[in-house]
Structure 1
């Protein structure tokens, strides 16, 4: 798991969120023999070419090849990058995250997960819950899951923050079975 805190804002550091995610994911994935490590931050200056000045957003797909190299460097089953910038993909105004199951990498943006983004007061607990849901969602894709029609399942597509707030951090029974099967089958 890669964290990026180089985006300066009045939102403060995301270190507590990264620590929370590392601890939670470490516990969740330990039963599948997957160790979760937090490695140092990655400077956004390496992604200057991904920045679209007109949109004031980064094209998410440009983070994935770098994460793939990091995955190889650490001999990891998967790599997850967490950024504090707004990301998008063509055809979408924004995205919360993006995964590439073939590369076994994903990126999640905290930018639109902050309650302050929507004009609400800061709430670190809510931020952590939202981050957990998006991370579990993207890692689900990394490990072969598609979107789920169950609005409570973490694999349900989030078209807005409301969708993220409605769904659980956990996989529904069907998605969890698929995830367990995929993790047992693939030793990436």
Structure 2
């Protein structure tokens, strides 16, 4: 394992810039916000630490990228910023997300309200869920996992056609595995930043994904027409555990973050770090480092204190009852399932520490 550690001077410049106009912009932030962001270049900070690289297969080693500081983000002529006319984030469910309709509905509500807190100040809306057949995408059985996969690129085209007038971006979410082209094994997600659309799968976040397999129906699928979507009827769906919810929130906010022009972070441990595999994605924190936080604040215009309070409220709200796994079978009536948030405990404690710094 090695540590990617930058000097205080480098981190200070990456956050504040040497451009007098951007320095002035930074100095106009609230004192508490500056106090929190200044933690980026405090060596003894217990809020923000360096990136750790555990193997050669980790993203930062295997995908060399130029780092993006705040000034580069601010000056990027291609980045998109929400406007009064286009200020909504839309979520499109493709196929069921839970073992019953009520689990699907509650799960996507949890994701929606989390995104509203994370991207504080923007509206998040749900598009009516659609079956896989509505996308007219190609699909296949993966040779390694023997699980069904749907074509990510075809779904992006579907989302682009459905994009509402007031949409800043549209993100599709599914519990079915994705592949971007025939030669690829799989992909967690794919996005088109120019079109403001993305598709993300949470299938591999389920604890039993690799043991589920497609129940020996590969031969049956090969005999079917490639447009016969009945193979997805009653298809395997992972249980919505607290860990799966945490992973889903992390992936969704990371990928939506890219639509604002925030590139992969190479400064500090941060949600916007790239990840090559699930172990690396799990190591990535739920929070933004100060440099990426300033980028997102610049794009949206939120108050950092109020944003953190909204995230704490999300963890605390609707979470009464016994935490744990959502039931495999649930009566289809009007009940609220307890939100499984035990995996968010450390995240909440970290936010409370940040609030103490901001509010001092």
Fold agreement, TM-score > 0.5: yes
Please tell me whether residue 166 in structure 1 is matched to residue 256 in structure 2.
no
- Cα offsets for 1:39-83 (capped at 9, x unmatched): 211220134442134553222121112212222x35211111111
TM-score w.r.t. the length of structure 1 is 0.81
- Match of 2:178? 87
Larger RCO (CA within 8 A; separation ≥ 6): 2
Q: TM-score under structure 2 normalisation?
A: 0.45
- Structure 1 counterpart of 2:128: 40
Aligned residue in 1 for 2:197: 105
Higher Rg? 2
Taking a change above 3 Å as real, the CA distance of residues 8 and 179 of structure 1, as seen in their structure-2 partners, is closer
What is the aligned-residue RMSD (CA, Å)?
2.7
Provide the C-alpha distance between the structure 1 equivalents of 2:111 and 2:185, rounded to a whole number of angstroms: 26
Instruction: For 2:103 and 2:291, locate their aligned partners in 1 and report how far apart those are by CA, in whole Å.
Output: 36
1:99-178 correspondence runs (5 A): 99-117=191-209, 124-149=241-266, 152-178=269-295
| Runs of 5+ consecutive residues of structure 1 not aligned to the other structure | none
Q: Would the aligned equivalents of 1:61 and 1:89 in 2 still touch at CA under 8 Å?
A: yes
Question: Deviation string for 1:126-177 (max 9, x for gaps)?
Answer: 0110001110111011111222235732222221111121111222222222
1:102-133 Cα distance to aligned partner (Å, 9 max, x none)? 111111101111122256x9561101100011
SS at match of 1:149: coil
Matched, 1:59 2:147: no
The answer for the alignment partner of 2:110 in structure 1 is 20
Q: Secondary structure at the match of 2:130?
A: coil
The CA distance in 2 between the partners of 1:2 and 1:167, in whole Å, is: 25
In structure 2, list runs of 5 or more residues that go unmatched.
1-90, 212-237, 302-360
Distance of 2:190 and 2:140 partners within structure 1: 17
Pair 150,20 (structure 1): closer, same or farther in 2 beyond 3 Å: farther
Q: Counterparts of 1:118 and 1:51 in 2: how far apart (Å)? A: 18
